């Protein structure tokens, strides 16, 4: 690997500067991405290896991040479980056949990963060829709780109260569903590693919807199963949005790094994790709308506060679609210029 900064940071090695990449870096803020979006629908882009690989490397060509993340979606997991997922324009994901009962859960069967998700593995192999060992490739999955939220709710939500009601009124069915998602996710991520990804990230986008106690019960125990199953295969990054309250427990796991969002200071994130694990984050994505000079100042301040080692520079969530190209450039350049 010609540029292994990202992998070295995951191993807690001393580095000249921290590595940088951005969540959703292969996305709607790029004109080259929008050109493909206008020609092909969302899941066609996910399920066509040539398109997924091309989209993955687009931001690397433009900005030269220290890691690429495979273009895909967390909802390929419910699709593989036989749950229909539509991506509606100006609405987002829509799952018409929700999971609301024990019978619904009983009907879910684990598929053969390579049959149902083989297109992802093909996209990884193509992407690895295109990257030519310049930088590492990250594979990812949604956390079981986050996937369950979509399966029960049927769409995005501000509160996911239907998903919570399902967990609190039918805990047996909820835990069985969470376990099925977990089992498939483990098989999926192991296949991704075999196909060539150098690290994996688990996105718990809706973990912060749960109370600290319920988080341990309905989310973290399942993420931790994934970490335990993957730890001997590849480094695992766990990212729970809004889950600062769980950082102490997360730091005690075998994860290689923890993602943090912008609702916690670097100092507190280090304190809660005992400074014993690599942290990733936590620039507010909206801050990329600031002037480029201000972005550079804030990025340098952020690195100073986290420290350059055991640290991966990233946003606290995905990049917004309306971020100017020069502002994304300023973010990446700020890290590369850091000394």
**Rounded to two decimals, what is the model's pTM?**
0.98
Give percent of the chain with pLDDT exceeding 70.
100
5-336 — its CATH code?
3.20.20.210
Q: Active-site residue numbers? A: 24, 28, 37, 73, 150
Residue 160 annotated as binding site:
no
Task: Kindly report, residue by residue over 264-280, the tens digit of the pLDDT.
Answer: 999 999 999 999 999 99
The dihedral of CA 133, 333, 236, 163: what is its sign?
negative
Residues linked to residue 142 through DSSP beta bridges, in sequence order: 203
* pLDDT reported for residue 290: 98
Give percent of the chain with pLDDT exceeding 90.
99
In degrees rounded to 5, what are phi and psi of residue 114? -70, -25
Residues 6+ apart with CB under 8 A from 46: 52, 71, 72, 73, 76, 119
Task: Kindly report, residue by residue over 164-181, the tens digit of the pLDDT.
Answer: 999 999 999 999 999 999
* pLDDT reported for residue 148: 98
The full DSSP string for 119-175 is HHHHHHHHHHHHHTTSS-EEEEEE-HHHHHHHHHHSB--SS-HHHHHHHHH-HHHHH
Q: How far apart are CA 239 and CA 234, in angstroms?
A: 16
Of residues 222, 218, 266, 268, the one with CA closest to residue 248: 268
Residue 24 annotated as binding site:
yes
* pLDDT reported for residue 198: 98
* pLDDT reported for residue 283: 98
Region 44-63: mean pLDDT is 98
* pLDDT reported for residue 67: 99
Residues linked to residue 140 through DSSP beta bridges, in sequence order: 201
Residue 322 annotated as binding site:
no
Please report how the helices 292-306 and 325-336 are oriented relative to each other, as an axis angle in degrees rounded to 10: 40
Question: Pairing state of beta strands 86-88 and 68-69?
Answer: unpaired
Q: In 3-state terms, what secondary structure has residue 87?
A: strand
- Mean pLDDT over each residue of the chain, to the nearest integer: 98
Please report how the helices 161-169 and 144-153 are oriented relative to each other, as an axis angle in degrees rounded to 10: 100
Residues 176-214 as b or e (16 or more Cβ within 10 Å = b): ebbebbbbbbbbbbbbbbebbbbbbbbbbbbbbbbeeeb
Q: Are 53 and 45 in contact (CB under 8 A)?
A: no
Task: Kindly report, residue by residue over 68-99, the tens digit of the pLDDT.
Answer: 999 999 999 999 999 999 999 889 999 999 99
Q: Are 39 and 26 in contact (CB under 8 A)?
A: no
Residue 73 annotated as binding site:
yes
Residue 300 annotated as binding site:
no
The full DSSP string for 92-126 is EEE-SS---SHHHHHT--PPPHHHHHHHHHHHHHH
Q: How many CB atoms lie within 10 A of CB 125?
A: 12
């Amino acid at each position: 690997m010609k540029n292994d900064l990202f992998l070295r940071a995951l191993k807690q090695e001393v580095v000249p500067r921290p590595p940088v990449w951005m969540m959703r870096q292969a996305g709607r803020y790029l004109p080259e991405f929008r050109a493909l979006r206008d020609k092909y629908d969302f899941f066609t882009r996910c399920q066509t290896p040539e398109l997924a690989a091309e989209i993955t490397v687009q931001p690397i060509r433009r900005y030269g991040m220290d890691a690429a993340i495979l273009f895909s979606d967390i909802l390929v997991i419910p699709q593989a479980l036989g749950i229909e997922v539509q991506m509606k324009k100006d609405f987002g994901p829509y799952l018409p056949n929700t999971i609301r009962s024990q019978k619904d859960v009983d009907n879910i069967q684990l598929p053969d990963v390579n049959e149902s998700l083989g297109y992802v593995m093909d996209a990884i192999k193509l992407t690895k060829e295109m990257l030519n060992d310049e930088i590492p490739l990250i594979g990812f999955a949604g956390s079981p709780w986050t996937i369950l939220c979509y399966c029960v709710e049927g769409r995005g939500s501000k509160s996911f109260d239907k998903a919570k009601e399902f967990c609190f009124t039918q805990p047996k069915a909820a835990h069985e569903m969470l376990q099925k998602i977990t089992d498939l996710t483990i098989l999926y991520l192991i296949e991704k590693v075999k196909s060539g990804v150098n690290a994996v990230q688990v996105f718990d986008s809706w973990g912060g919807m749960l109370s600290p106690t319920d988080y341990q019960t309905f989310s973290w125990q399942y993420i931790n199963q994934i970490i335990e199953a993957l730890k001997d295969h590849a480094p695992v990054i766990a990212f729970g949005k809004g889950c600062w309250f769980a950082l102490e427990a997360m730091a005690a796991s075998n994860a290689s790094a923890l993602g943090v969002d912008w609702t916690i200071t670097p100092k507190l994130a280090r304190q809660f994790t005992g400074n014993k694990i690599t942290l990733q984050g936590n620039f507010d994505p909206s801050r990329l709308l600031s002037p480029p000079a201000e972005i550079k100042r804030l990025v340098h301040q952020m690195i100073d506060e986290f420290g350059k080692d055991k640290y991966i520079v990233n946003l606290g969530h995905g990049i917004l679609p309306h971020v100017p190209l020069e502002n994304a450039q300023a973010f990446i350049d700020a890290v590369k210029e850091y000394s």
